[in-house]
A and B are shown apart, each in its own frame.
Chain A
């Protein structure tokens, strides 16, 4: 991992999660899928929780999905985020069925300063994957698809 601004929380990968973060740095969203039963798994784990087969396969996905829920971060936040508020964090259900968090970003991956109103953020809207560089940490994020 690159060393991020110490003001932002920094992911600390371990053996079970490092492929995900390495994928982000290549611009790829990798999700584990069980090679035996086909179950998509999130968060990362060493064993399929559905059939207990070890070593689910890291599989690149499109990142297409829909908003399952969302919130708006407002003051008070951690100091590193103060210049960004208000901003929207989405809970996205990928088409594969797993749910991930991510900022609402523009087409270029920049975090939008918004309460979501102008963009019409609502549950069920389709989103597309983008990546956002947060002081050296490459984070999957989402932009509205339509």
Chain B
């Protein structure tokens, strides 16, 4: 491509000045950027209101896009269904027989649990979900993992509320705007979820890695008791999340813990449920952005 002729300033004083001021404006823009960066790193909540307004402006597009994604998934699953129908039917009917037996067992355990709790005098507090909503946007191009949900302060959402799907924990509300809220996904590197192994009480912390997986760090060091396929649920330590929400499944072991895959992939989530903050202990840590990883706070 030939260079455009009008970019040479030549001897024209006016052209030289306009070229100079152009560069000056560019440098000034960069300086403004640095100032904004320092401000936003010092005070992360400073720009949350403009962001909420900006998200509200594109909310209809976000909802439409979310509906399209859903429909697209349906189309794919229909095609996939035709191809894999036979194999899947066979597999499912075998699994169903197994699950029926397990379901009966679970119901028995539940009944026993209720009876024992009544015996101990623990009152069961049912946590009613605050809102059921869609994920309308995510920061797909940034290394930070945020998502936007279509409910906000007007619907009773407050900062710190856990967000989950049917499959497991998705994240928690970071900044509740008037009509939408920014959610910190559990795969973000800033997110730290106190977890325990589902079948026993091996306590750990699950930290995001930013790429869809989690690092599970055991609290008590020693021989690594984890196995591939172990499921981790929230332990409820710190009072931010209630106990027993599924979080992740172990995919490979490391020296002091494991790498785990998130059970509730936000990419495959249609609807999410916003739950109230669990009223269990340590209310002061729920105000902090990250619960402090102290062993005594996380002990079950």
Chains A and B come from one and the same complex: no
Interface residues of chain A, those whose CB is within 8 Å of chain B, are: none
